[in-house]
């Protein structure tokens, strides 16, 4: 894909771009800039641009337990879906998770995100759990790569 740029959020402007994509796609769990900064210390965050246009972002939660399970989440703004950007983010996240030692790959999707759920199922994920976090009204769906 021409003009695709992947970037780790290494400054406030980039962290704000990652935050924007996250908060648009997950409006039930809006993150502050400080929360994004904290996540960037624990997880591998990346932003995707087409030229100078913000397209999406990803999160890789590295494996932390004996099962070597990592979580890979790809998010693409609605105006840019269906053009392979999710594929590009997901492929990079999957590679990064495996380089970090992951043997099991999971993802999580807000149940109201039909496009995200369809993407996960199309890529071989199967639902393992639905749950509500305290104060939430929209369930989350955990999925595992089969």
Across the chain, what does the average pLDDT equal? 95
**Positions in the chain whose pLDDT score sits under 50:** none
Specify the pLDDT at position 64. Answer: 82
Do the Cβ atoms of 141 and 108 come closer than 8 Å? yes
Specify the pLDDT at position 66. Answer: 85
Q: In the numeric block, which tokens belong to residue 93?
A: 């996240």
Class of domain 4-145: alpha beta
Specify the pLDDT at position 6. Answer: 97
Query: 38: number of CA atoms within 13 Å, CB side?
Result: 5
Specify the pLDDT at position 1. Answer: 58
């Amino acid at each position: 894909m021409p003009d695709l740029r992947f970037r780790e959020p290494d400054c406030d402007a980039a962290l704000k771009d990652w935050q924007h994509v996250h908060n648009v796609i997950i409006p039930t769990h809006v993150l502050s800039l400080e929360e994004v900064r904290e996540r960037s210390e624990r997880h591998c965050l990346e932003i995707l641009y087409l030229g100078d246009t913000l397209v999406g972002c990803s999160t890789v939660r590295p494996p932390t337990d004996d099962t070597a399970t990592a979580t890979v989440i790809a998010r693409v703004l609605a105006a840019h879906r269906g053009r392979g950007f999710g594929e590009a983010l997901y492929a990079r996240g999957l590679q990064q998770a495996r380089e970090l030692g992951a043997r099991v790959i999971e993802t999580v999707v807000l149940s109201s995100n039909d496009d995200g759920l369809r993407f996960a199922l199309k890529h071989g994920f199967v639902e393992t759990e639905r749950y509500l976090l305290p104060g939430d009204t929209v369930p989350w769906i955990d999925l595992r790569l089969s």
